[in-house]
Amino acid sequence: MIESMKVAVLIAAAGMSNRMKSDINKTFLLIDGKPILSHTINKFEKSKYVDQIIVLARKEEIDYVRENIIEPGGFKKVVALVEGGSSRQESIKNGLKILADDVDIVLSHDGARPFVHVETIDSAIEEMLELRAVVVGVPVKDTIKNVFDDGSNKVYLTPKRALLWAAQTPQIFYAEDLRRAYIYAERENIEGTDDSSLVEKFGLQVTMVMGSYDNIKITTPEDLVLAELFRKSLKEN
């Protein structure tokens, strides 16, 4: 069934790098001699199911991404380089606008997650066919505390850890479902921290599927230290 469907991924790389304390986009930083974004794109280039890759970048960085990442990488599946928005939600919305009508399944992925395994991408797509909407993630290892929203940091709840997952990307949906969720979010003025939260508020059931703990989002200088430890997996997957 999947072989007859067209699959596209939207890779968000238009974010700021405030927490990285860097003057350049975090996805341009090098790991093993290549930009993080190049490693990320390569994972989807290797997927047996992904047909199209759309990269979302800041307007002033589009030429840089094309000339220093996409062209040198020789990526054959990249079909578009699109201007992102002021938020991740805006960027994905821009990507959905140029998504071809014949795309059946759409993935969204953070450009700063280069360690996602190709096997994870492909197995999650297969699971999505059964479950309709899936998010790659991992069960949390730490105890989580809920605190009051008054700045006091006083705890009011310790949720059951066995029920908590850390959401990662890719997040995978039928293209029409994600389009409709975004239209609903815009109409209702809903802002979500990820795509699945918009799909949930639209009323669809989202299911977590197992990812890996090394699928980190490189956001801080400390993450770069971890990235160096994980870089071997870039060559293995």
Q: Which residues contact 37 (CB under 8 A, 6 or more apart)?
A: 11, 13, 27, 28, 55, 65, 69, 111, 112, 114
Q: What percent of the chain has pLDDT over 90?
A: 84
Query: Binning pLDDT at 50, 70 and 90, where does residue 228 land?
Result: confident
Q: Are 138 and 121 in contact (CB under 8 A)?
A: no
**Rounded mean pLDDT of 189-194?**
96
Is the confidence at residue 40, as pLDDT, over 70? yes
**Rounded mean pLDDT of 104-114?**
97
208-226 pLDDT, tens per residue? 999 999 999 998 888 887 8
pLDDT of residue 231: 75
Is the confidence at residue 235, as pLDDT, over 70? no
Bond into 170 cis (ω within 30):
yes
**What is the Cα gyration radius of the chain?**
18
75-89 pLDDT, tens per residue? 999 999 999 999 999
Is the confidence at residue 18, as pLDDT, over 60? no
Strands (DSSP E) along 116-235, which ranges? 133-139, 146-147, 155-157, 165-174, 207-210
Strands (DSSP E) along 175-237, which ranges? 207-210
Half-sphere exposure of 48 (CA within 13 A, CB side): 9
The structure's pTM equals 0.94
Q: Are 69 and 78 in contact (CB under 8 A)?
A: no
93-102 pLDDT, tens per residue? 999 999 999 9
Which whole-number Å values give the CA distances from 226 to 34, 52, 72, 112, in the listed order?
16, 30, 26, 13
pLDDT of residue 58: 95
Say which amino acid occupies 28.
F
Tokens of 68: 């220093």
Tokens of 144: 């989580």
7-13 and 105-110 strand pairing: parallel
CATH topology for 2-137+167-236? Spore Coat Polysaccharide Biosynthesis Protein SpsA; Chain A (3.90.550)
> Which residue would you say has higher pLDDT here, 26 or 202?
202
Least Cα distance to 9 among 62, 57, 77 occurs for: 77
Tokens of 212: 């890996």
CA distance 90 to 182: 10
Is the confidence at residue 36, as pLDDT, over 80? yes
pLDDT of residue 230: 79
